[in-house]
């Protein structure tokens, strides 16, 4: 199966799930067996080049078909940083471009070993990050946050990337504790071009 066939299908499923809320007819989706396998995706919406919503799953717990549809709807209508998406934004009839959809298919997360066996050291963790490659998950107690690899475009410095990730988790940017756990993952991503 060509990689772009999966991307086309995931993008169509995401647009269909949002469009259904506005009564739009669904686009055809190629019948790919991979869509019925478990997978974890993030769906990112952008409008006029700015973030308009982003929600996803860090672990594969349902089929790709279900995960992309649920996360597309959540990104459009449930991201607490934004008001619910309007039909005008979705279609681009509000004077701006229509909302564009990006789907990121997450690979399995692996722990980032950062320390001497006695705990995690922030400098060691920063040295092990791979800018523009790694998505990063930060966990501390009941707090957890992630940045997709695409966030490196806006935050190319590892120290700043980590500071912003800590703030996303509700921690101070200069906070560090040996109980912080980090994991990395890679993504395959597809974005609508028009």
Residue 126 forms beta bridges with which residues?
none
Is 112 in contact with 129 (CB distance < 8 Å)? yes
Residue 111 forms beta bridges with which residues?
183
What pLDDT is stored for residue 1 in this prediction?
39
Count of CB atoms within 10 A of residue 187's CB? 19
CATH of 110-187, one of 3.40.190.10, 3.40.50.2300, 3.30.1490.150, 3.40.640.10: 3.30.1490.150
Q: Is 31 exposed, middle or buried (0-12, 13-18, 19+ CB in 10 A)?
A: exposed
What pLDDT is stored for residue 93 in this prediction?
84
What pLDDT is stored for residue 103 in this prediction?
97
What pLDDT is stored for residue 159 in this prediction?
95
CATH topology of domain 3-106: Glycoprotein, Type 4 Pilin (3.30.700)
Per-residue pLDDT tens digits of the chain, which is 194 residues long: 345 899 999 999 999 999 999 999 999 999 999 999 999 999 999 999 899 999 999 999 999 999 999 999 999 999 999 999 999 999 888 777 889 999 999 999 999 976 555 556 888 899 999 999 999 999 999 999 999 999 999 999 999 999 999 999 999 999 999 899 999 999 999 999 87
- The Cα 144–Cα 123 span in angstroms is 20
What pLDDT is stored for residue 94 in this prediction?
79
Count of CB atoms within 10 A of residue 36's CB? 12
What pLDDT is stored for residue 3 in this prediction?
53
Is 174 in contact with 84 (CB distance < 8 Å)? no
Helix, strand and coil in the chain, % to nearest 5? 35, 25, 40
What pLDDT is stored for residue 111 in this prediction?
94
**Strands of the sheet with 110-111, listed across from one edge:** 110-111, 181-185, 135-140, 143-147
What pLDDT is stored for residue 95 in this prediction?
78
- Residue ranges per domain, the chain? 3-106, 110-187
Query: Which two structure tokens, joined as six digits, stand for 152?
Result: 């490196």
């Amino acid at each position: 199966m060509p990689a772009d066939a999966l991307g086309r299908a995931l993008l169509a499923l995401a647009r269909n799930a949002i469009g259904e809320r506005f009564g739009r007819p669904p686009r055809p989706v190629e019948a790919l067996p991979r869509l019925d396998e478990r997978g974890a995706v993030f769906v990112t919406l952008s409008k006029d080049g700015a973030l308009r919503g982003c929600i996803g799953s860090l672990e594969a717990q349902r089929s790709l078909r279900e995960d992309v549809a649920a996360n597309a709807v959540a990104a459009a209508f449930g991201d607490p940083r934004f008001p619910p998406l309007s039909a005008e934004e979705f279609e681009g009839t509000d004077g701006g471009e229509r909302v564009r959809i990006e789907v990121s298919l997450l690979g399995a997360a692996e722990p980032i070993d950062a320390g001497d066996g006695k705990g995690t050291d922030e400098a060691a963790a920063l040295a092990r990050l791979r800018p523009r490659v790694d998505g990063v998950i930060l966990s501390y107690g009941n707090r957890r946050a992630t940045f997709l690899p695409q966030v490196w475009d806006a935050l190319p410095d590892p120290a700043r990337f980590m500071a912003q990730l800590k703030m996303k988790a509700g921690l101070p940017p200069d906070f560090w504790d040996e109980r912080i756990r980090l994991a990395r993952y890679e993504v395959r991503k597809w974005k609508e071009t028009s």
